[in-house]
Structure 1
Amino acid sequence: MIIVRINGGLGNQMFQYAAAKALAVRCGSKVGLDLRVFDGPSQFGNALNHFDITGMALPEKDLPPLRKKNKLRYLMWRSGLVGPKFVEEEGDGFDPKFSGFTKNTYLKGYWQSEKYFEGISDVIRQEFSITTKPSIENVQLMKEVQSCNSVSLHIRRGDYVSDPLANATHGLCSMEYYTESLERLAEKTGTRPQIYVFSDDAEWAKENAVFKYPTRVVSLNDGAHQYEDMRLMSLCKNNIIANSSFSWWGAWLNENSEKIVIAPKQWFQAAQKHNRDICPASWIRI
């Protein structure tokens, strides 16, 4: 079995699961989820249960030991004396050693690159189809974004603003980035885009996301229903994403064969962090 440690927000959870699923497919194995990190109140909580995933959350007895509960068994596991083999992500970009991993592996990391699962894109799209039915309001908006020249524009704030460490690591996309992206998009499509702004700070967006094109700030869904926003993003004709794994997946799941996706050239603000593999080659970087 491939066991993967699931943590972080929805986008991070999806990257972690996708990498594990790709490894499991190659090895002829199954995916098991270690959800124990969500015991902490500061975590986002498991959001994968809204998707058509085949991986299963594993009970404590089927997971490697926790250091705080059994230090000796934990040290034996980490030293390789007992399975599954512990593998931690090295660096931020694609690790070519991933192709050499085998079944009975425990994955820890973020695995933020399409390269980990590009050979099974159809499988990943199926697993990430949302099974939870949308609300009536979301159904109406789904129809609307599919009927116009829609572009999802994601403004990530939240902990990128409130948490000094997150701010120093990621930074914020400037409004100049969004304005330039919209101009590039309008130029390439030859049309006036209808902008749908998605943000974890909708009130801020309503005051500050001011563009020369028709704009609507989507504020239907709270944090517990963020999968609804991802579904809406994926149904827009084109996507302008933030330096965020959440809008990355909203754009990647967009099945419009002529879609234009624009992403920030600088994904991390911290100089020591760099992921050259974060975006597919077809996406435009600004």
Structure 2
Amino acid sequence: MIAVNVNAGLANQMFHYAFGRGLMAKGLDVCFDQSNFKPRSQWAFELVRLQDAFPSIDIKVMPEGHFKWVFPSLPRNGLERRFQEFMKKWHNFIGDEVYIDEPMYGYVPDMEKCATRNCIYKGFWQSEKYFRHCEDDIRKQFTFLPFDELKNIEVAAKNVAGKFCSYSLT
């Protein structure tokens, strides 16, 4: 199983999902791990799961019980943090679960080549280079529901007319 961890706020979840779709477009069978999604604040964008904002996305959810060391309970001290890192490295060494952490922000070429039969990717993947090759598919997936409240419809109409927004998304 190849999994991509999806967590944090909506924008980060979108990058995680797009990275996973990029892997899928390269022929990998990918599922998404949302088991660690916990709203971090009271802000609305922190409370929304990806599929709630974009109901048309095609998300294959990772079965429960895998990759428990991605985000175990928050370490209370340095000893617990070191133990958790040791457990991830131990699993990587024995090969039963491979944890692939994003080595740095920015683009890392050929990340799909790190995939093994039982691995999970954890990171933010905030470069369009990971998914540029399938951007049309991702743009279709990230389609909001139609607005149903009059106030939102009016704001959207003004924005489309260019009164609030001076940039283009294309």
TM (norm. structure 2) is 0.72
Count of aligned residue pairs for this structure pair: 151
Matched, 1:47 2:49: yes
Structure 1 residues 171-204: Cα deviation after superposition (integer angstroms, max 9, x where no partner): xxxxxxxxxxxxxxxxxxxxxxx3x3xxxxxxxx
Mapped contact 2:100–2:122 kept (Cα < 8 A): yes
User: Pick from 64, 67, 88: which aligns with 2:67?
Assistant: 64
- 1:26 is matched with 26
- 2:106 is matched with 93
For structure 1, the residue ranges without an aligned partner over 5 or more in a row are 151-193, 197-235, 240-250, 256-286
Mapped contact 2:102–2:124 kept (Cα < 8 A): yes
Shift of 1:78: 3.8
The amino acid across from 2:68 in the alignment is P
- 1:142 is matched with 156
Structure 1 residues 56-102: Cα deviation after superposition (integer angstroms, max 9, x where no partner): 333432x212455xx7976643434203x321111111001314233
Cα 1:31–1:79 shift into 2, 3 Å: same
SS in 2 for 1:14: helix
Cα 1:57–1:135 shift into 2, 3 Å: farther
User: Pick from 104, 109, 125: which aligns with 1:111?
Assistant: 125
Shift of 1:42: 4.5
- 1:17 is matched with 17
SS in 2 for 1:56: coil
SS in 1 for 2:95: coil
Cα 1:28–1:57 shift into 2, 3 Å: closer
Moved over 6 A (4+): none
Cα separation, 1, equivalents of 2:147 and 2:89: 44
SS in 1 for 2:110: helix
For structure 2, the residue ranges without an aligned partner over 5 or more in a row are 74-83
SS in 2 for 1:17: helix
- 1:275 is matched with none
SS in 2 for 1:111: coil
Mapped contact 1:92–1:111 kept (Cα < 8 A): yes
Shift of 1:140: 1.9
Higher relative CO (Cα under 8 Å, sequence separation at least 6) belongs to 2
Cα separation, 1, equivalents of 2:103 and 2:32: 21
**How much is the aligned-residue C-alpha RMSD, in angstroms?**
2.9
TM (norm. structure 1) is 0.45
Structure 1 residues 233-267: Cα deviation after superposition (integer angstroms, max 9, x where no partner): xxx4x33xxxxxxxxxxx6xx24xxxxxxxxxxxx
Cα separation, 2, equivalents of 1:132 and 1:101: 39
Cα separation, 2, equivalents of 1:123 and 1:80: 36
Q: Percent identity among equivalent residues? A: 25
Mapped contact 2:33–2:62 kept (Cα < 8 A): yes
Cα separation, 1, equivalents of 2:99 and 2:88: 11
Mapped contact 1:6–1:33 kept (Cα < 8 A): yes
Cα 1:99–1:4 shift into 2, 3 Å: closer
The answer to which structure has the higher strand fraction is 1
Structure 2 counterparts to residues 161-176 of structure 1, below 5 A: none
Structure 1 residues 113-142: Cα deviation after superposition (integer angstroms, max 9, x where no partner): 110100001111011112364422211222
Mapped contact 2:31–2:62 kept (Cα < 8 A): no
